[in-house]
């Protein structure tokens, strides 16, 4: 089943998040080391058994590396103008989505290495049965967080295709939500002023 089969009429993809390949760097480095040992055993020591043994180990590691890459590619995290979709699985697949109108809070966490190499976790706190949804080792996590926050704000302001703004949200509540986005650093001062003027015109 392709991703398009998951989309509803009028639903558009806004952002695709991926798990960083940097988590496989240690295995790649180890594979390169084993290949170097095989080359040294063959050319330097003229030891065919040693070279063949190292090559056999390298083949196994290559298979493991290829499988891990396939698993990473099988995990798709998609932000649309309606929801956030997590699609996983290679042979059998499963998907889980969080509606934008249910998102209460968005956080991102990065270790020191994550900040240096630009990967980390993004956590979405929702009011649905899903509860807390965590996306681990996402490449460019802050960009993903900002994209979700912008989509949520756009959705709640009535910009979601095929959806009207929730009637329960008063102008004052929408203004407070907009100010919270600014305070959290999720939108710029210019974006805040532009949206604030739009909300004031709608009141």
Answer with the residue of higher pLDDT: 131 or 30: 30
Mean pLDDT of 32-51: 89
Local confidence band at 163 (pLDDT 50, 70, 90 cut-offs) = very low
Domain ranges of the chain: 22-72, 106-202
What are the DSSP calls for 149-197, one per residue?
HHHHHHHHTT-STT-PPPTT--HHHHHHHHHHHHHTTSS-HHHHHHHHH
Q: What's the pLDDT at 164?
A: 39
* pLDDT, the chain, mean: 81
Would you give the end-to-end CA distance of the chain in angstroms? 44
């Amino acid at each position: 089943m392709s991703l398009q089969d998951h989309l509803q009429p009028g639903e558009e993809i806004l952002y695709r998040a991926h798990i960083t390949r940097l988590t496989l760097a240690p295995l790649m480095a180890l594979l390169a080391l084993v290949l170097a040992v095989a080359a040294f055993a063959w050319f330097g020591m003229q030891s065919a058994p040693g070279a063949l043994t190292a090559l056999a180990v390298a083949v196994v590691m290559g298979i493991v590396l290829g499988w891990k890459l396939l698993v990473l590619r099988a995990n798709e995290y998609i932000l649309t103008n309606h929801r956030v979709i997590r699609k996983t699985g290679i042979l059998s697949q499963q998907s889980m989505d969080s509606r934008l109108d249910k998102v209460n809070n968005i956080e991102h966490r990065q270790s020191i290495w994550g900040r240096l190499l630009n990967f980390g976790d993004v956590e979405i706190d929702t009011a649905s049965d899903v509860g807390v949804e965590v996306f681990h080792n996402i490449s460019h996590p802050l960009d993903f967080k900002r994209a979700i926050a912008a989509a949520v704000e756009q959705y709640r302001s009535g910009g979601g295709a095929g959806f009207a703004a929730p009637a329960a949200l008063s102008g004052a509540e929408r203004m407070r939500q907009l100010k919270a986005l600014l305070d959290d650093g999720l939108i710029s001062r210019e974006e805040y002023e532009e949206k604030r003027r739009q909300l004031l015109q709608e009141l």
